[in-house]
Amino acid sequence: MKLIRSPWKHYLYHTRLMHKFLFLLIVLLLVEIAVSNFFFQNNAKNLLTKEIQATSKQFIEQYMDNIDYRLTKFRTILNNLSGDRQIRQVLANPSPTQADMEQADAQIRQILNNQFPYGLYGLTFYALKHPPDCKSIFIKPLDQEQAQWKDHLESTDFDHFFLHEEGRYSVKLLSVLKPVYSPDGSEVTGVIKLSLFPEKVFKPVKSVDGKTFHQVFIIDNRGNYIYGEEFPEMEEYFRFFHENYDIIYNGYPVADYQGQDGIYLTSSNSASGFRSVCYLASASSMESIEKLKQTLITGNLVLTFITLIIGFLLSGSIDRRFSIVLGKIKEVSRGNMKISASDLGSDEIGIFDASFTDMVNQVNRLIERNYVAEIRKKEAEFMALQAQINPHFLFNSLEIVNSLIEVERYQTACEVNARLSDLLRYSINHNSSGTVTLAEEIAYMNNYVYIQQIRFENKFSFRTDIDERCLGCHIVKLVFQPFIENSIQHGLRGIHSGGSIRFSVRMEGENLLISIEDNGKGMETEKYAGLMAHLDKEDIDDFQKQNESIGILNIHYRLKLKFGAAYRLSITTKEGQGMCTRLLVPRI
């Protein structure tokens, strides 16, 4: 037992950290390579084959969906044409006039123009009740046609697309027949033949090199080849189909067929009567597996090489930093207490080095710590006061949006919501200094005023007089909004129109003079005296214990925390004569 434990103990307690790390890294790499190769040999072939089949199945389903989507558009055109009352009346008339035929042509052309038939080869109406000499652009007599498609007409194979050849050049077309009934629905008076270019409907998916992405072909519901790629192996699929199926109905599944050299996957979507079949050759799958295996081996070798290089560099960095820390400990043990901090990062080694350096210089650190703690206390008080504004303003703004939605002013509600988003984003985006430029704060204020003007239906005007030289100066965030809110909520309350608020900024020596004036009701003498008494208090805690409104008092103490004695606030008001607030802050 001792022989077994000793090498392990020697590795844990006596091996250098760099060697210990490299040994562990090499062992982990060897284990990872062995596990990945074992997994690949036992599972990769099945997993890859299943993945390829699943991907191919999804491909042919989407491919068939696209075909159905195109054919559905043409079915819609046929339904509109066969159901049009004017066309039905002309076809049911045994002796229509030339004017009737022209009106029918115009109606057909109008329906086609509205539907935009992409890929259409031809559209013809065959009248069953008209005399042979009665014809127009779209309407023709049936007995003059000699073509393959008439077999489908004789067997009343309506509403099913079929492939046939037509014309002197034997053009392959995809056609469908649609009966047209008399206005009373008692008899068939005509047949619509709509013909399409097959290559426009069954557009094969191409890969980047221009070759077909899969060996895919289209069959109808009786297993007949319709369109697509032709290859010798596909004959075995048709033998399988005709041996097991006579006709496949919509939603009826067709089993995947494992051929001699590959597998055939058949789509399940047959709303149009067609299905797509994808052939996956086994050779191509094995080729993909071999390529994957080679890629995996190459990747493991490259990963091992890169990992070893990174391991050497990382272990060397750790060893070097530990040597610096050990050197400091030896210096302290010799009595040298003047050691300086080293930039060793923020991990465990860096934390240990910083802690050790702080311990040696504890006297200076304690003095510095007390000073920094006092500064941070002021910053915390400042941010706490600033944070009180956000819930108060958010509640009022959301009430505005809710009111706009209730009266169905949706566009205005969207604008208010956008500006509210800007306001909230601005208000919660704190920075370390707690200050912003005057231009940013004025932009925030203008957004707030816009929302309030919407809320009070423009019952007050808002004017600004700003010295542009002041826009680059800095001010505490969220300073102006409480004063504007106070003028609106208290000064202009009850005034139906004619309210006015004026905002101005100008330079005064090394300071900024900011004024907010309104022509509202002003403040009662008793309330004004109470407000000025609170403003004269020096202790912030006194303000917090008063449970008063957070507006003007909040701004006052925030500015006092930031600028100290250089800041001044003056408020002049008389009942019935409005209020004027002036802020004098240093230019920074």
Structure tokens at 569: 């606030």
pLDDT in tens, 283-322: 665 566 666 667 777 777 787 778 777 777 777 777 777 7
- Say if residues 185 and 161 touch (Cβ distance below 8 Å): no
5 lies in some domain: no
Can you give the CATH number for the domain in which 169 is found? 3.30.450
168 lies in some domain: yes
CA 248 to chain centre: 41
108 lies in some domain: yes
Which of 170, 201, 232 marks a domain boundary?
201
Residues 6+ apart with CB under 8 A from 237: 257, 259, 264, 277, 279
Which of 206-215, 270-279, 386-395 has the largest mean confidence? 270-279
Which of 156, 181, 201 marks a domain boundary?
201
CA distance 254 to 268: 7
278 lies in some domain: no
CA atoms within 13 A on the CB side of 98: 1
Q: Which letter does DSSP use for residue 135 in this model? A: -
Q: Per the structure, how many domains does the chain have?
A: 2
CA atoms within 13 A on the CB side of 384: 12
- Say if residues 579 and 572 touch (Cβ distance below 8 Å): yes
What percent of the chain stands above pLDDT 90? 17
Q: What is the pLDDT of residue 283?
A: 65
Q: What is the pLDDT of residue 517?
A: 94
Greatest Cα pair distance in the chain: 125
Q: What is the pLDDT of residue 399?
A: 79
Mode of pairing for the β-strands spanning 139-141 and 120-127: parallel
- Secondary structure in 3-state letters for 507-551: EECCEEEEEEEECCCCCCHHHHHHHHHHHCCCCHHHHHHCCCCCH
- Is pTM beyond 0.75? Reply is no
CA–CA–CA angle 246, 248, 251 (5° rounding): 160
pLDDT in tens, 46-95: 666 777 788 888 888 888 888 888 888 888 889 999 999 999 999 999 88
Domain housing 132: 84-201
412 lies in some domain: yes
Q: Find the length of the chain.
A: 588
What percent of the chain stands above pLDDT 70? 80
CA 178 to chain centre: 45
CB neighbour class for 586 (10 Å; exposed up to 12, middle 13-18, buried from 19): middle
Average pLDDT, the chain: 79
* Residue 5 predicted with pLDDT over 70: no
CA distance 112 to 120: 10
Which of 186, 201, 216 marks a domain boundary?
201
Q: What is the pLDDT of residue 34?
A: 75
Question: Comparing 76-90, 163-177, 313-327, 482-496, which segment has the lowest mean pLDDT?
Answer: 313-327
211 lies in some domain: no
CA distance 44 to 95: 74
Residues 6+ apart with CB under 8 A from 23: 11, 15
CA distance 518 to 499: 8
What pLDDT band is residue 443 in, cutting at 50, 70 and 90?
very high
Q: What is the pLDDT of residue 88?
A: 92
Residue burial 96-133, b: 16+ Cβ < 10 Å; e: rest: beeebbebbbebbeeebeeeeeeebbebbbbbbbbeee
* Residue 392 predicted with pLDDT over 80: no
Q: What is the pLDDT of residue 383?
A: 54
* Residue 419 predicted with pLDDT over 80: yes
38 lies in some domain: no
Can you give the CATH number for the domain in which 493 is found? 3.30.565.10
Amino acid at 37: N
3-state secondary structure of 186: coil
Q: Which residues on neighbouring strands pair with residue 227, listed in sequence order?
A: 218
What pLDDT band is residue 40 in, cutting at 50, 70 and 90?
low
pLDDT in tens, 327-385: 777 776 776 666 777 777 777 777 777 777 777 777 445 545 654 455 455 554 555 44
Q: Which letter does DSSP use for residue 40 in this model? A: I
3-state secondary structure of 229: coil
Q: Which letter does DSSP use for residue 470 in this model? A: G
CA distance 216 to 266: 10
Structure tokens at 181: 């009934």
CA atoms within 13 A on the CB side of 549: 13
Residues 6+ apart with CB under 8 A from 13: none
Q: What is the pLDDT of residue 367?
A: 44
CA distance 299 to 32: 12
* Residue 2 predicted with pLDDT over 60: no
Average pLDDT over residues 446-466: 88
* Residue 264 predicted with pLDDT over 50: yes
3-state secondary structure of 73: helix
579 lies in some domain: yes
Amino acid at 91: L
Higher pLDDT, residue 284 or 477: 477
CA distance 541 to 558: 13
